[in-house]
Structures are given as C-alpha cells and as structure tokens.
Amino acid sequence: MNTNQRENIALITGASNGIGLELTRKLLSEEWQVVALNRSDFPADDMRIQKAINSGWLRIYKITDLADYASLRRTLEEIKGKERRIDILFNNAGASFPELSYSKQRREKHYELMTVVPYIILMELKELLKNGSLKTVVNTSSSALNYVKEFNIETLERPKTFRKLLGPYATSKLALSLWTQAIASQLAKEGIKIRSVDPGGNNTLRKGEKSGLPIMVNLLMKLFFSPPTHGANQLYEGALGEHRNETGVFLLKGKVADLKFKDQALNVLERIHAIYKHEFLGERT
C-alpha cells in the first residue's frame, strides 16, 4: 500500500452514500486520501472507488450505529490506532427519521446522531487533526435550522411533539451549528478551524428507505433538487474555499449567515461536553 503519493487526508463520516459518497469521489479525484467512517458499504460496481480501496487511498472503518457509544468507542479507537493524521474532518453523517425515536442513551435520535456524536468524534480525533496540516473541521448543517421557533436543551433531548424535517431534525442541526460557533475560540488555541455548512437542497432519497420527509418535500426533492454532487461541492468549498481561514461561522449558499438563538450556544456546548465526559468517557464528577 503506497499512500505517500497522496499528501492530504480527509476523514468523512457517512461517506458511502449521497453527499458523502460524492465528496469521497471528488477528493479521490483530486489526489486525496480518504478515511471513511460508514454504516453501509461503498458501491461494488464503482471501479474508481474499488481501485482506491485496493490501493489504500480509501480506508474504511465500519460501524453498525454511530449513535451507539460502545460501537462508536471501538471504531474510534481503531482509527486512532491505525491513522497518523487527518487534515480535514467532515462530520457529514446524518438522517431524517420518519417518527420520534431514541438512541441507546435514551436521547432523541436526531439530536444524538447529528449534534452529540459529531462533537464526540471531534474530541476523540482532535490529536490526529493537530498532526495534520490543514487542521479543519466541517460540520454538515442545514438551512432547515432557520425554521426553528422554539429552542432549549429539554426540547432537543426529549421533544414533546414530532414534525418531519422541521422538528427534531431542524433543531438538531441548529444545535450543531451553535456548538460549532461556541467552540471555535477554544479550538483556535490549538490551531484548529471549524465551520458548519449547509449543503443546499440535494436529492438524497434512497430506494427502500423511509426518508422521514414530508410528502410534499419528498415530491419536490425527486423533481427539482440537485444531485448530491451539489452538496459535495458546497462542503468542499466550505472546507477549502474563500472562507477557509474563518472559524465558527455558518455557511449558507457559500456565504456567512447569522444563527438564531445564539444566546443558547454555550448552553449546548456545555451540555454535549458533559455527555461526552460523563457518558462516553465515563468520568465521574
């Protein structure tokens, strides 16, 4: 396995489908190495992907459930044991669930998967980022956060009601962007830059899976939304484009955008750090 010819290394969560797959393809085509953290397999009929796997340019770490801390802990330990550095971390994995559901830790699953888990991955892989040259984190957010009308920790963890897309999904993405903003100054002291990026409207529907989207959005997605290459390009630009030297910002359509409920940013960061410290690491006060 000769990986020395490809200098830059990106780790992508959710790299085998949709936007993550297109981002993987784009980076590989630009001579990057890609470390993939996935639930599912890459397409077996994609010869470029299979060549990258065989050459060691694409290295895969499988996980059954990112929101299962025991599984996540094992997989992150494997990554830390085998990888030497990461230049860019793309916290991209996500989902829109069709009904209210909870993680093994008994928190609403959108929140667990798309707010808490990206923080855990960042904290666990921070030393690999510090060993890299670009030291950049891109969290995949969503413009759906602009539709959030009520926001607090209790609503995030245990919602009283459920709405597809504009309920727990949107509040979880907002919480992700809020802690991204809140942690930026702390990470800057270690030379790490972090941004959250809206990948725009992409047709990421998968056959045989419930999308968790309202019927009308499902129809619009099929007819009018861009292919996932659009979202991959947005994340790529968010990492390496004109805002590459900024930190803590939320990028919407390639521009820095304001966030609602900014007064809650520190509360979100403190809460998810407490979850990381006491539940994931198992430390006691």
Please give the Cα distance from 92 to 113 (Å, whole number).
10
- Is the residue at 166 inside a domain? yes
Please give the Cα distance from 56 to 69 (Å, whole number).
27
The separation between CA 154 and the C-alpha centre of its own chain, rounded to angstroms, equals: 22
Q: Inform me whether the pLDDT recorded for 213 exceeds 90.
A: no
- Is the residue at 163 inside a domain? yes
Please return the burial class of 253, using the count of CB atoms within 10 Å of its CB with bins 0-12, 13-18 and 19+: exposed
Q: In the chain, what percentage of residues exceed pLDDT 70?
A: 88
- Is the residue at 53 inside a domain? yes
Domain span holding position 98: 9-280
- Is the residue at 67 inside a domain? yes
Backbone angles phi, psi at 71, to 5 degrees: -65, -45
- Is the residue at 137 inside a domain? yes
The reported pLDDT for the residue numbered 165 is 83
The reported pLDDT for the residue numbered 155 is 87
- Is the residue at 4 inside a domain? no
The reported pLDDT for the residue numbered 209 is 58
The reported pLDDT for the residue numbered 51 is 97
Query: What is the per-residue pLDDT across 127-183, written as a single tens digit (0 to 9) for each?
Result: 999 999 999 999 999 999 999 999 998 889 999 899 888 899 999 999 999 999 999
Give the residue-averaged pLDDT of 186-212: 79
**What does DSSP say about strands 88-91 and 136-140: parallel, antiparallel, or unpaired?**
parallel
Please return the burial class of 231, using the count of CB atoms within 10 Å of its CB with bins 0-12, 13-18 and 19+: buried
Give the mean pLDDT of the chain: 91
Please give the Cα distance from 156 to 198 (Å, whole number).
20
Kindly state the helix (H) or strand (E) to which residue 269 belongs, with its residue range.
helix 265-275
> Whole-prediction pTM value?
0.92
- Is the residue at 285 inside a domain? no
The reported pLDDT for the residue numbered 2 is 43
Domain count, the chain: 1
Q: Residue 46 sits in a domain of what CATH number?
A: 3.40.50.720
Query: What is the per-residue pLDDT across 4-44, written as a single tens digit (0 to 9) for each?
Result: 467 999 999 999 999 999 999 999 999 999 999 999 999 99
- Is the residue at 69 inside a domain? yes
Q: Inform me whether the pLDDT recorded for 96 exceeds 80.
A: yes
